[in-house]
A = this chain, B = another copy of it.
Amino acid sequence: MARSSTSARPAPQTRIQKAKREAIFDAALDVFSQHGFRGATLDMIAAGAGLSKPNVLYYFEGKEAIYTQVLAQILETWLDPMLNMDPAGEPLEEIRGYVRRKLEMAREYPRESRLFATEILQGAPQIKSLLSGALRDLVEKNGQVIAGWAAEGKIADVHPKHLIFMIWATTQHYADFRTQIDLVLGTGEDPFPDAQHFLDHMFTRMLNPDT
């Protein structure tokens, strides 16, 4: 009679339970990123996970709990482990490397990008504090590194925070607006190779201190 049966829902214990929770997570990411929170239904998530609806609710307290936990999970990989400029590094390489990693993220994790975009578009009801806290500090810190490089003449004199916004906008665009890009390009081809080359070229031109 120690510590069992006290919590409302089981913490992941056995391998099987963990696997099912992950299947639900994955299906939920699919559904929420495509339809938004309100547009998603438990039936869709259950079907995607290969479970019945009540069985999904055995593992999670409810639809909102699933959404909150999925969002929290993706923020760890999204907000923003890659924004970590080394003041001692080669400035152009540091920034271009960040652009490359962000574009790689957009390519590999488009569902996460779209879910994040949906959350922001709707006013970031669940992650306001994270944006004004941890993310703000991260932008402040890295912005100062960039400003330092500019002051030393190692890169062009650009507004650091808007540069970061521009990197976010241009890279995430290839995940969030992928539908539009594919339809406008018309070809069935992967836009990322061209995008990678284009962005590398453009940020190089923007940051070149010698012009």
Instruction: List the interface of chain A (C-beta within 8 A of B).
Output: 34-39, 114, 117-118, 120-124, 128, 131-132, 135-136, 139, 156, 158-159, 161-163, 165-166, 168-170, 172-174, 176-177, 179-181, 183-186, 194-195, 197-199, 201-202, 205-206, 208, 210-211
Whole-angstrom CA separation of A117 from B37 in the bound complex: 16
Q: Are B202 and A122 in contact (CB under 8 A)?
A: no
Give the contacting residue for A170; candidates B169, B184, B208; CB below 8 A. Answer: B169
Whole-angstrom CA separation of A202 from B157 in the bound complex: 10
Work out how many copies of this chain go into the complex. 2
Q: Given A162-B198, A201-B158, does the pair A179, B136 have CB atoms closer than 8 Å?
A: no
Chain B residues with Cβ below 8 Å from A114 are 121
A-B CB contact pairs (8 Å), 16 listed:
A35-B122, A36-B118, A39-B122, A117-B117, A117-B176, A118-B121, A121-B177, A121-B179, A124-B180, A128-B179, A131-B180, A131-B184, A132-B184, A139-B184, A169-B169, A205-B211
Q: Are A131 and B198 in contact (CB under 8 A)?
A: no
Q: Are A136 and B186 in contact (CB under 8 A)?
A: yes
Shortest CB distance A77–B (Å): 17
Task: Name the residue in A114, A117, A169, A186 with the highest tally of chain B Cβ atoms < 10 Å from its Cβ.
Answer: A169
Q: Are A183 and B123 in contact (CB under 8 A)?
A: no
Main secondary structure of the interface of A (DSSP, over half): helix
Q: Given A38-B36, A184-B136, does the pair A156, B120 have CB atoms closer than 8 Å?
A: no
Chain B residues with Cβ below 8 Å from A179 are 120-121, 123-124, 128, 131
Chain B residues with Cβ below 8 Å from A195 are 162, 165
Whole-angstrom CA separation of A92 from B176 in the bound complex: 28
Shortest CB distance A135–B (Å): 6
Whole-angstrom CA separation of A62 from B166 in the bound complex: 40
Shortest CB distance A26–B (Å): 19
Residue of B with least CB distance to A157 = B201
